[in-house]
């Protein structure tokens, strides 16, 4: 299916070496990336045998540099790359290091499915030995930024076109130098309408400006507005 996104298991091998259950992932679509510390240059032969059937679905990532939490930073960087490729991807971090939890909570507020697990055996508990669905994400304190832009009417939308999302609008505003950003709500609405006219000619961007205010991206005080980087 075109909508299928391959889930990924990131293994903190400095923290957890017990991967006896790794073989139960063979018949799934999971990718596995095992992060090794700079001193972990030798692997148990039993682990290598378990890894061989995965082929290119399993990668060994050897740390070359030394430093506190160096491996954790590599895993965090990889999470960012995976999310950039596809926000729908399910990501699991196999580690007993609770230092990942603030990052995972940050991702959850942005509707990104990332979870830390401490035991691979407990993770694979279904009868057919396939990973269970990702846990429901907690409700974010603000509306998701991928919310479609408000429109004047359904008839104004192009059936075959896809207009910009609020994320597109926010990224565009952030790219404008602060000194040159529109200073009034009407001016901002006109600027957005002009910039996105090809993608969304039927949108009422005054409603988009109000939505940005609800999200806390801007503040409107009478005929003036100010910007907030959140």
Instruction: Give a yes or no: residue 55 inside a domain.
Output: yes
Q: What is the dihedral of CA 64, 67, 68, 73, to 10 degrees?
A: -50
Residues 160 and 118 in one domain: no
Q: What CATH number does the domain containing 54 carry? A: 3.40.50.1010
What confidence tens digit (pLDDT) does each residue in 9-63 have?
A: 999 988 887 777 787 787 788 899 999 887 776 777 778 888 888 888 888 888 8
What confidence tens digit (pLDDT) does each residue in 118-145 have?
A: 887 777 654 444 555 544 544 444 444 4
Q: Tell me which residue of 141, 151, 188, 184 sits closest to 169, measured CA to CA.
A: 188
Residues 23 and 104 in one domain: yes
Instruction: Give a yes or no: residue 132 inside a domain.
Output: no
Tell me the average pLDDT across 61-89.
86
Total structural domains in the chain? 2
For residues 175 and 128, which has the higher predicted lDDT (pLDDT)?
A: 175
Q: Give Cα 181 to chain centroid, integer Å.
A: 28
> Residue 213's domain spans which residues?
154-227
Instruction: Give a yes or no: residue 215 inside a domain.
Output: yes
Listed residues 105, 123, 141: the one ending a domain = 123
Listed residues 101, 123, 145: the one ending a domain = 123
Do the beta carbons of residue 63 and residue 88 sit within 8 Å?
A: no
Task: Give the integer Cα–Cα distance in Å for 51 and 23.
Answer: 7
Compute the mean pLDDT over every residue in the chain, rounded to the nearest whole number. 77
Instruction: Give a yes or no: residue 38 inside a domain.
Output: yes
Task: Give the integer Cα–Cα distance in Å for 24 and 40.
Answer: 24
The dihedral region occupied by 69, where left means phi > 0, alpha psi between -120 and 50, and beta the remainder, is left
Supply φ then ψ for residue 33, to 5 degrees: -125, 120
Task: Give the integer Cα–Cα distance in Å for 38 and 64.
Answer: 5
pLDDT at 3: 54
pLDDT > 70 fraction of the chain, expressed in percent and rounded:
77
């Amino acid at each position: 299916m075109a909508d299928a996104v391959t889930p990924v298991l990131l293994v903190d091998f400095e923290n957890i070496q017990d991967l006896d259950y790794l073989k139960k992932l063979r018949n799934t679509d999971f990718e596995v990336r095992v992060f090794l510390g700079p001193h972990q240059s030798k692997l148990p032969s039993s682990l290598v045998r378990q890894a061989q059937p995965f082929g290119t679905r399993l990668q060994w990532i050897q740390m070359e540099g030394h430093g506190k939490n160096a491996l954790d930073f590599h895993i965090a960087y990889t999470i960012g790359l995976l999310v950039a490729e596809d926000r729908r991807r399910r990501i699991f971090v196999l580690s007993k290091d609770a230092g990942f939890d603030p990052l995972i909570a940050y991702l959850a507020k942005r509707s990104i499915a990332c979870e830390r697990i401490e035991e691979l055996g407990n993770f694979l508990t279904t009868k057919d030995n396939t990973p269970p669905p990702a846990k429901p994400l907690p409700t974010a304190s603000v509306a998701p930024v991928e919310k479609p832009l408000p429109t004047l009417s359904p008839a104004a939308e192009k059936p075959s076109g896809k207009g910009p999302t609020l994320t597109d609008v926010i990224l565009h505003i952030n790219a404008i130098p602060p000194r040159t950003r529109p200073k009034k709500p009407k001016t901002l609405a006109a600027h957005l309408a002009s910039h996105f006219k090809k993608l969304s000619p039927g949108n009422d961007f005054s409603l988009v400006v109000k939505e940005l205010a609800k999200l806390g991206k801007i503040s409107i005080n009478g005929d003036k507005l100010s910007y907030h980087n959140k």
